[in-house]
């Protein structure tokens, strides 16, 4: 099995001992992304909708750097700091995946950085 690390300046850098993404055996595994604007350490301005869009744009950048795309995503896990924001998150999420969305799990969780309202990780085909 070969393993390739994926890194791009178009998404926030890893904030610890992990890679933005890993390509292995025809899949890309994208680490959980929060709503940090690439090239900064700052969250995008706004609430859950703006953060969801930024997270998904960060994911899109990692996927593209690894030779994949949003339409090849097969599984997502969405972590919400407050499950009551599900409907607002979902209204943005659906715009990124169209009529054939991936499998998904959504949970409420304590997120790794204060101010993060949503974190999403994905698995996609390459």
Give 11-32 pLDDT, tens digit per residue: 999 888 999 999 999 999 999 9
Helix (H) or strand (E) holding 31: strand 27-33
Per-residue pLDDT at 95 exceeds 90: yes
Q: Measured between alpha carbons, how far is 86 from 79 in angstroms, rounded to an integer?
A: 10
Predicted local distance difference test score (pLDDT) of residue 21:
98
Domain ranges of the chain: 3-125
Residue 3: Cβ within 10 Å count: 10
Residue 117 burial (10 A CB sphere; 0-12, 13-18, 19+):
buried
Mean pLDDT across the chain: 96
Predicted local distance difference test score (pLDDT) of residue 69:
97
Q: Measured between alpha carbons, how far is 63 from 59 in angstroms, rounded to an integer?
A: 6
Q: Name the band, by pLDDT with cuts 50, 70 and 90, for residue 60.
A: very high
Chain centroid offset of residue 110 CA: 16
Q: Measured between alpha carbons, how far is 31 from 84 in angstroms, rounded to an integer?
A: 24
Per-residue pLDDT at 2 exceeds 90: no
Residue 37 structure tokens: 């604007």
Predicted local distance difference test score (pLDDT) of residue 35:
98
Closest residue by Cα to residue 122 from 93, 89, 88 = 93
CATH of the structural domain 3-125, one choice from 3.40.1030.10, 3.30.420.40, 3.30.1330.40, 3.40.50.720: 3.30.1330.40
Please give the average per-residue pLDDT across 101-118, as a whole number: 96
Task: Return the percentage of the chain with pLDDT > 70, whole number.
Answer: 100
């Amino acid at each position: 099995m070969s393993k390739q690390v994926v890194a791009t300046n178009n998404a926030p850098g890893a904030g610890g001992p992990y890679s933005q993404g890993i390509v292995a055996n025809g899949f890309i595994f994208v680490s959980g992304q929060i709503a940090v604007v690439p090239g900064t350490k700052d969250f995008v301005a706004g609430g859950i909708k703006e953060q969801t869009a930024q997270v998904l744009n960060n994911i899109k950048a990692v996927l593209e750097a690894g030779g994949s795309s949003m339409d090849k995503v097969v599984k997502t896990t969405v972590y919400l700091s407050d499950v009551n924001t599900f409907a607002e998150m979902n209204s943005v999420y659906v715009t990124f995946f169209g009529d054939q969305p991936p499998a998904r799990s959504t949970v409420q969780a304590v997120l790794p950085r204060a101010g993060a309202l949503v974190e999403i990780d994905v698995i996609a085909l390459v």
